Amino acid sequence: MSRRTLLAVLPLLILSGCGDREPGAAAPGTGTGLVISDDVVSHIHGIGVNPADDALIVATHSGLFRAAPGQRRAERLSELRQDTMGFTVLGADRFLGSGHPAVGAGQPANLGLIESNDAGKSWRSLSLSGKADFHVLRASGRRIYGVNSSDGALLVSSDGGKRWRRSAPPGTVGDLAIDPRDPNHVMVSGDEGLARSKDAGRTWTKVRGDLVGLLAWGPRLVLVDANGRVYASPDGGRRFTAVGDVGGQPAAAAAADGQLLVALHDNSVRSSDDGGRTWQLRLDGQ
């Protein structure tokens, strides 16, 4: 893939901002005035599985939605309707998020890092309120990585999000994944292709420039490109092999207990139990 092609597909893979669109307003880019209800899953930014009950959690433009195991339709988790741009599951009933408040909430335009300890029913500010809008947010234990959309900087915290170290990532970052065996070892995907850091983002090594996509790191590191093709690496990102196809353009990806999850732009979610070779429908598109 040429650098020009990489730059063309990158905007499809970065979790783009929603601006100040009111809940229920016309979806951006439709040009039709189509009204999308904010009580159904729409414009997915992040996904994860709550270890407390194995429910699928879907972070959207208008808050969180939940689908219990075996449930194909997601239901609104609470009446909180914040634009949850960055989202990650930290543990049982523990979520981290970032983004923008609901209209009229009286909060800063950028929420910084926020935390929920009751499975998304309520949130509290941890740090960077008014200063950061993490469109990419990943965590492992007390190590947190966030890419601030306002300036593209990679921020790294080693104490659960209280204090942050600023790092210069290799180009524009579309996604980041943490090695589940070593929180210092991360892979980023962006306009420079793939790059790896083994020292928590202080230094970077380019892996390859011809592959870009959304990342998920379970037993193996997996990349899903803009066309839905799935690549897996058996050696932590040194080599990638095409293994399958998720069946559409990806919007978000995650790994949970050996399972891969990918949300598509039709608002469905697919899951794989065999490393990305085959995919099953986990959540119907709405």
Q: What is the DSSP string of 101-120?
A: PPTTS-S-SS--EEEESSTT
What values do phi and psi take at 10, rounded to 5? -55, -45
Place of tokens 């194909």: 72
For the cut 50, the answer to whether the pLDDT of residue 105 exceeds it is yes
- Distance CA(110)–CA(286), nearest Å, equals 28
What is the reported pLDDT for 8?
A: 43
Between 16 and 47, residue with greater pLDDT: 47
Confidence of residue 106 (pLDDT cuts 50, 70, 90): confident
Mean pLDDT of the 196-205 span: 96
What is the reported pLDDT for 103?
A: 84
Which of 196, 127, 193, 192 lies closest to 157, judged by CA? 127
What is the reported pLDDT for 19?
A: 43
**189, amino acid identity:** S
Helical H segments across 54-141, by residue range: none
What is the reported pLDDT for 11?
A: 45
Q: Which two tokens stand for residue 58?
A: 């879907």
Between 238 and 160, residue with greater pLDDT: 160
Residues in the chain: 286
What is the reported pLDDT for 31?
A: 31
- Distance CA(95)–CA(125), nearest Å, equals 12
**108, amino acid identity:** P
Confidence of residue 4 (pLDDT cuts 50, 70, 90): very low
For 3-283, which CATH class?
A: mainly beta
For the cut 80, the answer to whether the pLDDT of residue 24 exceeds it is no
What is the reported pLDDT for 16?
A: 41
Mean pLDDT of the 234-260 span: 94
- The C-alpha angle with vertex 211 and arms to 207 and 214, in degrees rounded to 5, equals 100
Between 7 and 180, residue with greater pLDDT: 180
What's the mean pLDDT when you consider all of the chain? 88
Confidence of residue 27 (pLDDT cuts 50, 70, 90): very low
C-alpha radius of gyration, the chain, whole number: 17
For the cut 50, the answer to whether the pLDDT of residue 7 exceeds it is no
For the cut 90, the answer to whether the pLDDT of residue 194 exceeds it is yes
Between 7 and 122, residue with greater pLDDT: 122
Please write down the long-range contacts of 203-212, taking CB distance under 8 Å and 24 or more positions apart: 204/169, 204/170, 206/170, 207/237, 207/238, 208/240, 209/3, 209/6, 210/1, 210/6, 211/1, 211/240, 212/1, 212/6, 212/9, 212/10, 212/13, 212/174
For the cut 90, the answer to whether the pLDDT of residue 10 exceeds it is no
What is the reported pLDDT for 240?
A: 95
For the cut 80, the answer to whether the pLDDT of residue 92 exceeds it is yes
For the cut 80, the answer to whether the pLDDT of residue 153 exceeds it is yes
